[in-house]
Amino acid sequence: MYRYMTSDDWTPADNMSFDSTSIRIIKSEVNTLISAGPGAGKTELLAQKASFLLTTNKLIFPRQLLALSYKVDAAKNLEERVHVRCGETLSKRFISRTYDAFAKLIVDQFCNLLPPELKPSIDYEIGTSEDVKQAYIAAGHRSILRDSYRFYINTYLVQYKLPFVDTEYGDIARKVLPILLKGNDNLQPKLTFPIIARLAEYIVRNNPSVRSSLQLTFGHVFLDEFQDTPEHHYDLIKSAFRDQGNILTAVGDKKQRVMVWAGAADNIFERFTSEFNAVNETLLVNHRSAPKLVSIQQPIIKSMTGQDIIITPNDRWSAEDGISEVWGFENEKEESLVVSQKIKELIEYESLSPNDICILTRKLPAIYTKEIMDMLERNHIHARVEEKYQTLLKEDVIQIIQSIILLALPIKAPDEWAFIIKVLRQLHGYNSRTSNIVQQTLESNFISYLKTLELKMASITNEGELYLLVLDILNYLDRERLRGLYRQYNNAYLDTLIKNYVNLLWIEYETCTDWVYSIERFKGMHSIPVMSIHKSKGLEYKVVFLIGLEDDAFFGDNIDEELCTFFVAISRAIEQLFITKCDKRGVEKKTTNKVKPFFILWNSSGIGQFVSFKNEFNKKFNEYFGIQ
């Protein structure tokens, strides 16, 4: 039996130091809304709060703690931190999921509680925007998509709670939703995650036994990235946990509210405070960025909030730490020369790794950075657009396959071994009561399989043979068992993932002809990540290059949301931040009239420097880099 400690005896795990506000949040037993800016350490704060609740039994056994996030990697990161801080036994009571996974679990488990008209086919698959579009067309509503495509695809079907009200406004939905739920002669049943969330909310709201089960199981609930919460998720949380004695801790940052286009609800902080009677707390330390970068962020924070909120840097820094410059160019060719030379110096003279550096754009990273990436390659520095790789790396099945491939190679991979053995036990339904002999047999058989896999890998000569090897791994794992453990993997989706993974991994292998190194390259360990600002949320890099602060890039009608996007970009930087703008890209002239307020805010701290490379480029290039 675990020996719990008292609340007074508890101290933060790993001897970490927290201010009085953070300790108050950790030990709070009331609903709390935490405003946490970039680098505030919100993930660690939640992990420590989980440690406090579990190690003191303030969350009384056997109740569990539920943490909901929007990204798979964020959910896993928090889960891993709690495991490290609490150990195997206690961390089993910490359930970290994405909102989508949580909603899907409710629908799959309690599907029979839905009325016939809302009950999806048992073989439904996860749908895409294209599937929703085809359902509208099949229902005879192709014409409405011409003028209001985004609204009808992304919003209309999930705008309100189910069932649809019997009004003219709901007529279209009552024809389209049944096709998505049950399919027809030509279309398979396909549900998007927002629709699944609406079904889950209906189940919880209309079934007291389900609602009671959730409330009794989860004593505390953590809600991450709360500023991005859409209506369908907020309604689900309210129906499940409002006014039932569960303690909710929501964490977010209005200044990073960049998902309005994806349905982030308005005034969500104010509504949560009112509807859950929540206490408001603010974290005022930026543990990420150097002091000068924090000072540059300060005027932007004031502009967005209308408040003089003073954010202080971590005391590990010197007051003079941090660099930020805006570079002006006549064209993207000159931009690429300066950016690539700067990156070359950072790697050669400051001993930075490529993945310590990040290149960000507001949109179309492959297009905006093509000249830069080409110039970097000429300098033998690899950069790549991350989206395809990161999408695959977040997938459970890709992590499993890649771990098995690594284990088949002559290297030590203890983390991969522990991960795969855990997965294999889950796939076979083993638990703590399964005999040691049975579990040892499982491990012995797996070791034998790895030996045959190593021989097969040594003889691979083309992408087709790699594809067959990956299929062999899937057959060893058993597709049906995989689908039982990971319900998102229907056959079509799984096949697409495998083909994309094999294609990208083979590209890496052809470059280096070393399987270990090619997997490291696939993970991005030897390249500079290039991505959109939206994809960079939650990440941090020693040096950030924001490419193309121009009107065409920051094109949205909502200037406040664009300012939030700009803030997300500059707050990814730990030590150095460089921003570029060009008068011309290709044959198009670029303007900075709309984004001029961004430059003014950036400059108002008096810390950043403007550097113009226009006119006499070669001379200014040599002066900047000290070339004689």
What is the pLDDT at residue 628? Answer: 83
Domain edge (last residue) among 522, 538, 556: 522
Most confident stretch, 204-208, 298-302, 559-563: 204-208
d(CA 581, CA 439): 60
Is the separation of the CB atoms in 68 and 222 below 8 Å? yes
DSSP helix/strand/coil, 236: helix
Q: Are residues 490 and 421 in the same domain?
A: yes
DSSP string, 442-476: HHHHHHHHHHHHHHHHHT--SHHHHHHHHHHHHHH
d(CA 163, CA 409): 54
Asked if residue 346 has pLDDT above 80, the reply is: yes
What is the pLDDT at residue 486? Answer: 84
Asked if residue 608 has pLDDT above 90, the reply is: yes
Alpha carbon separation from 376 to 82, 191, 564 (Å, rounded): 39, 43, 30
Q: Which two tokens stand for residue 34?
A: 């935490």
- Tell me which of 237 and 258 has the higher pLDDT: 237
Domain edge (last residue) among 467, 496, 522: 522
Q: Are residues 396 and 506 in the same domain?
A: yes
DSSP helix/strand/coil, 559: helix
What is the pLDDT at residue 79? Answer: 95
Q: Name residue, tokens 């990204």.
A: 71
pLDDT in tens, 438-484: 999 999 999 999 999 999 999 999 999 999 999 999 999 999 899 88
Mean pLDDT, rounded, for 524-534: 95
Which H or E element spans position 620? Answer: helix 617-625
Q: Are residues 515 and 404 in the same domain?
A: yes
Q: Which two tokens stand for residue 295?
A: 């000072």
Q: Are residues 454 and 505 in the same domain?
A: yes
DSSP helix/strand/coil, 428: coil
Is 617 domain-assigned? yes
Domain edge (last residue) among 488, 522, 556: 522
What is the pLDDT at residue 267? Answer: 92
Q: Which two tokens stand for residue 341?
A: 């030379």
**What range does the domain containing 578 cover?**
291-382+527-625
What is the pLDDT at residue 511? Answer: 92
Is 111 domain-assigned? no
pLDDT in tens, 350-379: 999 999 999 999 999 999 999 999 999 999
Q: Are residues 297 and 394 in the same domain?
A: no
What is the pLDDT at residue 259? Answer: 63
What rounded mean pLDDT belongs to the chain?
93
**Phi/psi zone of residue 606: left (φ > 0), alpha (ψ -120 to 50 degrees), beta?**
left
d(CA 99, CA 263): 14
Looking at residue 157, the DSSP 8-state letter turns out to be G
Q: Are residues 540 and 618 in the same domain?
A: yes
β pairing state of 323-331 and 312-313: unpaired
**Number of structural domains found in the chain:** 4
> 206 CB contacts (<8 Å, ≥6 apart)?
113
Residue 324 identity (one-letter amino acid): S
Is 60 domain-assigned? yes
What is the pLDDT at residue 428? Answer: 93
Q: Are residues 489 and 411 in the same domain?
A: yes
Is 562 domain-assigned? yes
Is 441 domain-assigned? yes
Q: Are residues 230 and 248 in the same domain?
A: yes
Lowest mean pLDDT, pick from 28-32, 241-245, 555-559: 555-559
Mean pLDDT, rounded, for 223-237: 95
Q: Are residues 446 and 368 in the same domain?
A: no
CATH code of the domain covering residue 576: 3.40.50.300
Q: Are residues 262 and 356 in the same domain?
A: no
pLDDT in tens, 286-314: 999 999 999 999 999 999 888 888 999 99
Is 12 domain-assigned? no
Asked if residue 493 has pLDDT above 90, the reply is: no
d(CA 97, CA 74): 9
Asked if residue 258 has pLDDT above 70, the reply is: no
What is the pLDDT at residue 531? Answer: 96
Alpha carbon separation from 427 to 123, 404, 416, 453, 530 (Å, rounded): 20, 15, 16, 20, 36
Strand spans (E) along 198-259: 218-223, 247-252
Asked if residue 114 has pLDDT above 70, the reply is: yes
d(CA 129, CA 277): 37
pLDDT in tens, 398-421: 999 999 999 999 999 999 999 999
Name the residue among 12, 128, 182 with its Cα closest to residue 496: 128
What is the pLDDT at residue 261? Answer: 60
Q: Are residues 96 and 233 in the same domain?
A: yes
d(CA 349, CA 329): 25
d(CA 173, CA 191): 14
Is 138 domain-assigned? yes
Alpha carbon separation from 188 to 179, 182, 184, 200, 524 (Å, rounded): 8, 7, 7, 21, 36
Q: Are residues 435 and 323 in the same domain?
A: no
Asked if residue 262 has pLDDT above 80, the reply is: no
Mean pLDDT, rounded, for 199-228: 96
Is 231 domain-assigned? yes
What is the pLDDT at residue 418? Answer: 93
pLDDT in tens, 49-92: 999 999 999 999 999 999 999 988 899 999 999 999 999 899 99
What is the pLDDT at residue 263? Answer: 75
